Amino acid sequence: MKKGIFKRQKKDGEPLTLRTFAEPAAYLLPFMIGLLVFTAYPFVNVIILSLRENYSLMSGTFSGIGLGNYVQIFHDPSFLNGLKNTGLYVLFVVPIATALSLLIATLLNSSIKLQGLFQTCYFLPMVTSITAVGLVWKWMFNYDYGLINYFFSLLHIAPVNWLNDPRYNLAALIIYGIWNMIPFTVILLLSGYQNINPQYYTAARVDGAREGRIFFRITVPLLAPTLGLTMIINVISASKVFTELFPLFNGKPGSAYSLYTVVYYLFDMFYKQWQLGPAAASAVILFIIVLIFTMLQLFVQRKWKNY
C-alpha cells in the first residue's frame, strides 16, 4: 500500500528518497531562518517581556512574572488616550479612504481622457517620502498662510488652527491619513477590476440595466474579495499610525501631547522612558485588537460572498 502511495505522489515513477524532501527544504531554509530570527523570536520575546514586572534592560533583572505591566498601562491616561485616538483614526480613515479609492478606481478603470496622467497623479504619494509629504501638509494646515484656510476664507469660513489647537489635531491627522492611504488602495482595487469579466457588463447593458445598478449588483459583489483584502490591510496599517505625527507635530503627539497613539505610546515608553515592560504590554494589546478585528473582517467577508 505504501508503494502505491509513493507512486501516486511521484509522477515519473521514481521512489521517494531523502533527497526528495531535502532539496525543497534547502530552498526554504533561508526563508525559514529569516522567519524564525526576525518574526517568531521577536514575537515570543515581546510576550515574555510584557510579563516581566519592573524589568531593567541594563541589569536584565525583574521582580516577577505577572500581569503588572498590563494593569499599569490600563491605568495610564496616555495609553487610554492612545487607544481612543487610534480607534477614531481607524474608524474614520479606513472607510473613507476605501470608499474614495473605490470611486477613483472605478473612474480610472473606465475609458477617460488623460487616463495615464490621472493614474500617475494618484500613485505619486507611494513613491514620495512620507516626511516630505508631511511637511507639505504641515504647510497646507498652517493657520496664517495655509492653503486649506485660504479656501475657507473664500467661503467666508473662519480659519481653523489645525496644528496648534488640540481640538483639531486629530482631524488634521485623519485628513492626512486618508490622502496617504488612497494610492495603495486604488492599486489593489484596480487589480481587482482586471479579474472581472467584461461580459457581465455587456449582458447587463443589453438588458437595459443602469450604471448605478450595474455598479452595486455586479462591480461591488465581484470586488468583494479585493475589498475585504484592502480593508484588512488598511486596518492593520491605520492601527500602526506613528510616522504621520512627526512631520505634522514636530515629533510630538499633538500640540499639547493630547494625540497619543498606541504605537507612539510604545515608542515613548521604550525609547524615552526605558520602561520596556509596559511598552511590550502595549504592543501585545495592539496585536490582540488588530487580530480580533481581522478575524471579524474575515468572518464578514465569508458571509458577504453571494456569487
What is the model's pLDDT at position 113? 67
- Identify whether residues 55 and 102 lie together within a single domain: no
- DSSP letters, 150-205, are HHHHHTT-----TTT-HHHHHHHHHHHHHHHHHHHHHHHHHHHHTTS-HHHHHHHH
Neighbours of 258 (CB within 10 A): 15
- Identify whether residues 57 and 152 lie together within a single domain: no
- DSSP letters, 28-51, are HHHHHHHHIIIIIHHHHHHHHHHH
Q: In the chain, how many domains are there?
A: 2
Residue 97 exposed, middle or buried by CB count within 10 Å (0-12, 13-18, 19+):
buried
- Identify whether residues 181 and 297 lie together within a single domain: yes
- Identify whether residues 47 and 108 lie together within a single domain: no
CB-based contacts of 279, cutoff 8 Å, min separation 6: 266, 269, 270
Contact 245, 257 (CB under 8 A): no
Q: Of 39, 65, 91, which residue sits at a domain end?
A: 65
- Note the residue count of the chain: 307
In a domain, 70, yes or no: no
Provide the sign of the torsion angle of the four alpha carbons 37, 38, 44, 48, taken in this order.
positive
Residue 297 exposed, middle or buried by CB count within 10 Å (0-12, 13-18, 19+):
middle
What is the model's pLDDT at position 112? 64
| Paired residues of 65 in beta bridges | 52
Greatest extent of the chain over all pairs of C-alpha atoms, in Å: 85
Q: Of 19, 42, 65, which residue sits at a domain end?
A: 65
What is the model's pLDDT at position 13? 56
- Identify whether residues 240 and 296 lie together within a single domain: yes
- Identify whether residues 19 and 81 lie together within a single domain: no
Neighbours of 182 (CB within 10 A): 21
3-state secondary structure (DSSP) of residue 64: strand
Q: Check which CATH number belongs to the domain holding 169 and give it.
A: 1.10.3720.10
- Identify whether residues 23 and 168 lie together within a single domain: no
Radius of gyration of the chain (CA): 25
Kindly state the cell numbers that stand for 164: 496648534
CB-based contacts of 103, cutoff 8 Å, min separation 6: none
What is the model's pLDDT at position 8? 44
Q: pLDDT tens digits, the chain, 307 residues: what are they?
A: 444 444 445 555 566 667 777 777 788 888 888 888 888 888 898 898 888 888 777 777 778 888 888 999 999 999 999 999 999 999 999 999 999 999 888 888 776 666 666 767 767 777 777 778 888 888 999 888 888 999 988 888 888 899 888 899 999 999 999 988 888 898 888 888 888 888 888 888 887 778 778 888 888 888 888 888 899 999 999 999 988 888 888 888 888 888 999 999 999 988 888 888 899 999 999 999 999 988 888 887 776 655 5
Contact 223, 265 (CB under 8 A): no
Question: What is the C-alpha separation between 143 and 40, in angstroms, rounded?
Answer: 46
What is the model's pLDDT at position 87? 93
- Residue 36, domain extent: 2-65
Question: What is the C-alpha separation between 60 and 271, in angstroms, rounded?
Answer: 17
Residue 219 exposed, middle or buried by CB count within 10 Å (0-12, 13-18, 19+):
buried
What is the model's pLDDT at position 248? 87
Q: What is the pTM of this model?
A: 0.84
- Identify whether residues 184 and 203 lie together within a single domain: yes
Q: What DSSP state is assigned to residue 52?
A: E
Distances in whole angstroms, Cα of residue 100 to Cα of each of 96, 106, 236: 6, 10, 19
Question: What is the C-alpha separation between 33 and 30, in angstroms, rounded?
Answer: 5
Distances in whole angstroms, Cα of residue 177 to Cα of each of 29, 76, 288: 38, 26, 23
